[in-house]
Structure 1
Amino acid sequence: MEMNSLEKLYENDSYIKNFKANIVDVKSDEDGSVLLVLDRTIFYPEGGGQPSDTGIIGNCRISHVFKKDKVIYHRADKKPDTLNDVDCRIDWERRFDFMQQHCGQHILSAAFGNLYGCNTIGFHLGEKYVTIDIDIQSLSEDDAKRAENVSNDIVFQNLPVTCHYPSKDELSKYKLRKQPTVEDNIRIVEIEGFDFCPCGGTHPSRTGDVGLIKIRKWEKYKNSVRVEFVCGNRALKDYQW
C-alpha cells in the first residue's frame, strides 16, 4: 500500500482517540510478531524524534507502529479475528503526553533561536525526559531562565497551533525555523505569530495544552549544548515528591 493512499487521521486531528478501519494486510515479522496494515490510521508511526503510539486494534494489542517503504505497520500481539470495520483505540495518556512534549520542544527551540540566534540540531523525545541540542558554545543560568520564561509566556498566551501543507513554490511565504527534509507532502506546524517549522508529529491545537515548560539541566555535548526539559504532566510530576 502506498502511503499516499492511506488516510493519516493524526495529521489533521491529534485529539481523535477512537476510530474504525479496515485491515488490508496481515504480515509476519522476523521476530514472529504480527504486522497489520490499515486503510486509515490515527496511530502515529515512530519518526522525527517522536515515539510511536500504542493501543488496540480489534482484539489485538498494538505495541509499536513504524513506517517502512512508505507503508505504516502496526505491530500486534496476535492475529486479528476480523478484518473489516474494526474498532481501534490509541493509548490517549501516552499520545497527549507526546503532544505536550513535542509542541513544547517547538516552543523552546524557537525561544532559543529568537533569543540567541542558535539552531536546534538534535531532538529526542524519551519516555521520561526530552532533549534538544542547540548549536551554541555555552549557556548560562540567566540565558536558560530567559528562554524558559519566553517559552512559558507563549504557553500562557494559549496561541493557536495550526498545520499547513504548502507546495514547494509556496514555502517562501513562511518564515521557517528550519528547512524541510522531504520534498513531497510537506507539513508546516505554525504557532501563531511565533514559529513556523516543518514537522510530521502530533501537536495540540493551542499552546495552553502544553502546560508548564521546565528546563531541568544542560551540558556541553560535542560542539553544542544539550538541554533537558519536561512539559505539562511531566513537569508536574517532576515537582511532586
Structure 2
Amino acid sequence: MTQKLYDQDSHCRAFSAQVLTCQPGAAGTWQVTLDRTAFFPEGGGQPADRGTLGGAAVLDVQEVGEAILHTTDAPLTPGTTVQGTLDWPLRFGRMQCHSGEHVISGLAHSLYGCTNVGFHMGEDAVILDFDKELSPAQLREIENQANAIITENRPVTACYPSQAELAALDYRSKLDLTENVRIVTIQGCDVCACCAPHVKHTGEIGLVKLLDAMRHRGGIRIWMAAGKMALADYQVKQENIAAISAALSVQQPQAAQGVQRILGEMEGLKETLKAARQALVLEKAKALPETQGNLCLFEADLDAGSLRALANAGMEKCTGICAVFTGDDQTGYRYVMGSRTVDLRAQAKAINTALGGKGGGQPTMIQGSVTAGQAAILAYFQ
C-alpha cells in the first residue's frame, strides 16, 4: 500500500520514494508503483497531478484498489530510489479552484439550502451543479461572502474522524460513506467529505469569481474560477473589453452601451436594406415578361419574403411554374416556387429528387433548398 504524502501535506511538492513495480502500459508507457507518493491520483472531481519521477515524465496517476499507478513515459527500475517532483503551478492552481469550490458550495448550502450534485474542474473554468435555482442577487451574495472569507485567511484542515465522531458530524457528501472518510473543514464555512488536497488557508485561494450560470435539471449550473484561473480569465476579458472600447471609441465602462448603440444602428440599416431589396424586387417583378411555360429566376441575397414576393409576381406572368432561387453553386440554393396551373405539392418530391433538394408546401407554392448547380436547374425547368 502506497503512503499518501499528499494526504499528510498538500504542499509537499518534491519527495524521494522507492520504486516497487514497473510494468509496460499502453502506447509506450509504463505503470509504476512507489512506496510513497505526493502525486494525487484523479478523484473527487480533481484531475491527476503531473510532474517527473527520476528521468521520466508522469503523464497520469490513478488509484486502483490499494495501488496508486503512475503512468510514465519511461521505465523505472524496481528497488531503486527516485526523486519525484510535482508540476507545482498546475497542482496549486487546482487546489485554489477546489478549495474555492468548497467555499462556494458551503455558502450555497448554508445560505440557501443548496446541495452540490456535480463538480468538474476544467482547464478554463470549474463547473458546479446545485439542486436548487439561485437568483442573480443570491449568486452575487455568495460571491461576495466567499471573497470575504478568503481575505480572512481562515484555516483549511483535513482529518479522518472516528466512526463515532463521523456519526455526530454534520458534513456535506455526495456519497453515503461510513469508514475512512476524509473530512475537509474550512473554518466557519464548510465541512465536506473530500479526498483531494486543498490549500492550508483560504487566503491562498486568492479570489473566486462566478463566471456564468444557467438553469440545469431543476437546479442551476455555475461556471466559476479561482486563484490563477480567475486572474487569467480576468486578463483575457480585460484585453477584449479594451479592444472593444477602442474600436467603438468609448470608455471601457461604457463598452456595453457602445455595443448596444452599434447593434441598434445595424438593425436600422437592415430594415433600410430590406425595404430597398423589396422595392427592387417589385420593380423586377413589373419587368417580368409574359412567358409560355416555366419561368426560372436567380437573384443574389434574397430573404424569404423577397423570394415569395418575386415568385408570387412571376406565377402571374407564366403558364407553368415560376421558380425563384437565391444562393450559389458552392453552398447551394434556397427556392420558392409558385404556379396557378401546376399542383406543386404533388410535384415537390419529383422536383426535389431531380435537383437534390428538400422542401414542400401548398399546391400553389412550395419552398426549400437544392444542391444542384445553376446549369442543372435551368436545364430542368426548360
TM-score range normalised by the length of the shorter chain: over 0.9
- Please list the CA deviations of residues 132-177 of structure 1 after superposition, one character each: whole Å capped at 9, or x if unmatched: 10011x3221111001011111101100011121122211342212
Given candidates 202, 207, 218, the residue that maps to 1:207 is 202
Residue 34 (structure 2) pairs with residue 22 (structure 1): no
Runs (5+) with no aligned partner, structure 2: 240-382
8 Å Cα contact 1:59/1:81 also seen in 2: no
From the superposition, tell whether residues 83 and 74 of structure 1 become closer, same or farther in structure 2 (CA, over 3 Å). same
SS at match of 1:19: strand
Instruction: Show the counterpart of 2:231.
Output: 236
Quote the Cα distance in structure 2 between the aligned partners of 1:177 and 1:146.
Answer: 21
Quote the Cα distance in structure 1 between the aligned partners of 2:225 and 2:3.
Answer: 31
SS at match of 1:147: helix
8 Å Cα contact 1:180/1:186 also seen in 2: no
Quote the Cα distance in structure 1 between the aligned partners of 2:59 and 2:176.
Answer: 28
1:185: Cα distance to partner?
A: 1.8
From the superposition, tell whether residues 35 and 181 of structure 1 become closer, same or farther in structure 2 (CA, over 3 Å). farther
Amino acid at match of 1:238: D
- Please list the CA deviations of residues 118-143 of structure 1 after superposition, one character each: whole Å capped at 9, or x if unmatched: 1001001112110110011x322111
Instruction: Show the counterpart of 1:8.
Output: 4
Quote the Cα distance in structure 2 between the aligned partners of 1:218 and 1:69.
Answer: 37
Instruction: Show the counterpart of 1:42.
Output: 38
Normalized per residue, which structure has more strand? Answer: 1
8 Å Cα contact 1:101/1:230 also seen in 2: yes
Amino acid at match of 2:143: E
Quote the Cα distance in structure 2 between the aligned partners of 1:135 and 1:180.
Answer: 15
Instruction: Show the counterpart of 1:128.
Output: 124
In our comparison, the structure showing a higher alpha carbon Rg is 2
Residue 108 (structure 2) pairs with residue 112 (structure 1): yes
Runs (5+) with no aligned partner, structure 1: none
Instruction: Show the counterpart of 1:54.
Output: 50
Quote the Cα distance in structure 1 between the aligned partners of 2:170 and 2:149.
Answer: 18
1:220: Cα distance to partner?
A: 1.3
SS at match of 2:97: helix
- Select between 176-185 and 50-59 the one with higher mean Cα deviation: 176-185
Quote the Cα distance in structure 2 between the aligned partners of 1:222 and 1:7.
Answer: 40
1:81: Cα distance to partner?
A: 5.3
Instruction: Show the counterpart of 1:75.
Output: 71
Quote the Cα distance in structure 1 between the aligned partners of 2:86 and 2:166.
Answer: 33
1:180: Cα distance to partner?
A: 5.1
| Percent of aligned pairs sharing the same letter | 37
SS at match of 1:200: coil
Quote the Cα distance in structure 1 between the aligned partners of 2:43 and 2:122.
Answer: 12
Give aligned pairs, total. Answer: 236
Residue 152 (structure 2) pairs with residue 189 (structure 1): no
Amino acid at match of 1:222: R
Q: CA RMSD in A?
A: 1.4
Amino acid at match of 2:46: Q
- Please list the CA deviations of residues 46-67 of structure 1 after superposition, one character each: whole Å capped at 9, or x if unmatched: 0111000000000110011011
8 Å Cα contact 1:123/1:132 also seen in 2: yes
Instruction: Show the counterpart of 1:226.
Output: 221
- Please list the CA deviations of residues 56-112 of structure 1 after superposition, one character each: whole Å capped at 9, or x if unmatched: 000110011011122110000011257422111000000000110000000000111
Amino acid at match of 1:229: M
- Select between 81-90 and 122-131 the one with higher mean Cα deviation: 81-90
Scaled by the length of structure 1, what TM-score is found? 0.93
Amino acid at match of 2:191: F
1:179: Cα distance to partner?
A: 6.3
Instruction: Show the counterpart of 1:64.
Output: 60
Amino acid at match of 1:53: D
Quote the Cα distance in structure 2 between the aligned partners of 1:54 and 1:79.
Answer: 16
Normalized per residue, which structure has more helix? Answer: 2
